[in-house]
Amino acid sequence: MIVCTQLDPSSNKQHRMKERLSDNEILFTQITKLNAELFSQLRKLFPDYKIQGLKHRGETPYGKKYWRALFDREYASTSEPQDGSGRDLQIAMHTAGELIGFSDFSIHSRKLVDIPFNYGSVNEFFIVPKHRRKGYGTILYGHVEQLFAKHNVGTVLLTPDPVTGVDFWRAMGYEDTGLNKGSGEPLIYRKHLAPGETAEAIDDAISKLRTPTQIIAINPYNKRQLSEMTPIWRAYCRENDRRFHKRDVMATAFEARKHRDVSFAAIYYGGRIVGFLLRKNNEEIRFIPDSDNKTLLIYLAEKEG
Ligand SMILES: CC(C)(COP(=O)(O)OP(=O)(O)OC[C@H]1O[C@@H](n2cnc3c(N)ncnc32)[C@H](O)[C@@H]1OP(=O)(O)O)[C@@H](O)C(=O)NCCC(=O)NCCS
């Protein structure tokens, strides 16, 4: 049944809400390989959602085949609904077999920031394109938040899609932590579901991570980060009589992803890349052009305590 409201049709929002299903027609189901019909609708949409999200973050993502395989591996491998204790949940929101939205979230996360407190995270979240701006995202998030509360999660962190996610998460009560600003890494937003001493301690721990200096692995798919690194790599080659090839920045970043004993990271100061760290063949190169500048001194002072 479609709920038609009798509100002023000139209002955009009221118009958008006109064709929304009533709340009791909306179902939430943990994805398993047993609910194959729902799963196949989601499997079809998932690659486009992932590819679009990564493009919004300036990356050049793998193609659909890769994301479909990841979906099969990560989401369709469980055969039993999970109770959420200490693990990830994947919830489909649907009605009469038609998928409306999807969320993957963690009850105990460690992925986003390294702090000595438990926090939850929303890892994936989307509404099927034709159902957007009708309030379904709010309903799905409401369900996710109820599950967080059921599992005593006091604080939730997430990284909003910079193009399509920020306004939505702000509307859901999330705030920017100020971490990763200008670093090319996803921004981290947080919401306290249970205000109090722990919430304050979490904010305090997060604020300690907010230093002007950050060291972040170079992402071979992040074009913005690669192009910011290029002049620094050029300066390094010039100072070390090395032949400069622009593509070496990306190639080294790929090498670091493949080999555990190689690491290649950008040094950020105040949101800008000022140098890099390269560890390879048991050798460490720290390079900051104009190395007598204040930035290096601050960096070394911070890193060395
Ligand atoms: C972001 C997304 C989940 C929102 O779902 P939705 O069902 O459209 O959201 P709602 O209708 O419940 O919107 C709730 C509020 O969020 C804000 N909002 C949602 N989409 C917005 C947009 N495109 N532009 C501006 N504000 C937006 C508005 O404040 C909105 O309230 P309003 O309609 O009263 O103005 C959906 O657009 C989507 O799946 N986008 C692509 C994937 C994505 O970005 N996911 C988030 C990843 S972090």
Residue 243: exposed, middle, or buried by beta-carbon count in 10 A (0-12, 13-18, 19+)? Answer: exposed
Residue-wise pLDDT for 238-267, tens only, equals 999 999 999 999 999 999 988 888 999 998
- Non-local (6+) Cβ contacts of 208 within 8 A are none
Q: How far apart are CA 263 and CA 240, in angstroms?
A: 20
Pocket lining: 58 vs ligand 1, CB cutoff 6 Å: no
- The closest-lying atom of ligand 1 relative to the alpha carbon of residue 137 is 7
Name the region of 198 (left: φ>0; alpha: ψ -120 to 50; beta: rest). alpha
C-alpha 165 – ligand 1 centre gap (Å)? 7
Q: Write the pLDDT tens digit of every residue in 26-64.
A: 999 988 888 888 889 999 999 999 999 998 988 878 899
Please indicate, yes or no, if residue 252 is contained in any of the structural domains: yes
What residues make up the domain containing 128?
12-209
Strand partners, 288: none
Q: What are phi and psi of 230, to 5 degrees?
A: -55, -50
Give the CATH number for residue 259. 3.40.630.30
What's the pTM value of the predicted model, to 2 decimals?
0.78
Domain stops at, among 209, 239, 272: 209
CA of 231 to the centre of ligand 1 (A): 38
Q: Is the CB of 134 under 6 A from ligand 1?
A: yes
What confidence score (pLDDT) does residue 36 get?
A: 84
pLDDT tens-digit readout, 98-114: 999 999 999 998 889 98
Residue 124 lies in a domain: yes
Q: Please state, as a whole number, how many other Cβ atoms lie within 10 Å of the Cβ of residue 186.
A: 18
261 and 190 belong to one structural domain: no
State if residue 133 touches ligand 1 by the CB under 6 angstroms criterion. Answer: yes
